[in-house]
Amino acid sequence: MPNPLLLEPSPTLATARLILRTPAPGDGPQVFEAVAESLQNLRRYLASLPWVAAEPSVEASEIFCRNAHANFHARKDFPYLMLEADTARLVGVCGLHRPEWNTPKLEVGYWCRTSALGNGYVTEAVQAVCAHGFERLAAARLEILADRENLPSRRVAERCGFVLEGTLRSERRDPHGSLRDTCIYSRLRDER
């Protein structure tokens, strides 16, 4: 595996209906708007999404965007804003996270703003970032971790060709102390 700094991930990906691009300084207000709109839905799975426990703010969203921008260039994280191609409206975030370069493997993560749910945007974005992970980041394995009760997230994994490897029972606690199960899905490079 080459040094990750020598990899050339693309800062922009395009699908039939979406432009996926890395967050940049100044994107905080639109990220905040999407998070604030979607907070109730996102907080249903706090054990998997601990970052939504805090109250959202434009400042916190801007910090996320600036950290994401820096981490992308350092090859530590690869988040993409999901923008409608015809309107540039932010409909969610999808990315490749927690790289383990020795394998190499990455975790696929995603969320969609509430008003854009049900349009297939997440599936479209996941397919694009997975292709990018295999082609440009030399991934041998991609994983999706989803709360067992998060059926929409699990359906996305299945639609995108991921295989359920197993369920980690009582694997994490949500902020209220309840134990949660985590489903682990994977897709290998040769399964494309």
Structural domains of the chain, count: 1
Structural domain contains residue 156: no
52 vs 17, which has greater pLDDT?
17
Domain that holds residue 91: 4-138
Q: What's the order of all strands across the beta sheet hosting 179-188?
A: 12-14, 18-21, 78-84, 90-100, 105-112, 141-147, 179-188, 163-173
Closest CA to 80 of 68, 70, 95: 95
Structural domain contains residue 112: yes
pTM: 0.93
Structural domain contains residue 185: no
Structural domain contains residue 121: yes
The angle at the Cα of 53, spanning 167 to 178, to the nearest 5 degrees, equals: 45
Place of tokens 């015809």: 86
**Which band of pLDDT confidence, cut at 50, 70 and 90, is reported for residue 177?**
confident
Distance CA 71, CA 174 (A): 27
According to the model, what pLDDT value does residue 153 have? 94
Distance CA 25, CA 190 (A): 37
Structural domain contains residue 117: yes
150 SS3 class: coil
Encode pLDDT of 97-152 as tens digits: 999 999 999 999 999 999 999 999 999 999 999 999 999 999 999 999 999 999 99
Structural domain contains residue 30: yes
Distance CA 89, CA 155 (A): 24
Greatest C-alpha distance within the chain: 43
Structural domain contains residue 62: yes
Structural domain contains residue 186: no
- 95-107 as b/e, with b when 16 or more CB fall inside 10 Å? bbeebebeebbbb
Residue 21 maps to which CATH number?
A: 3.40.630.30
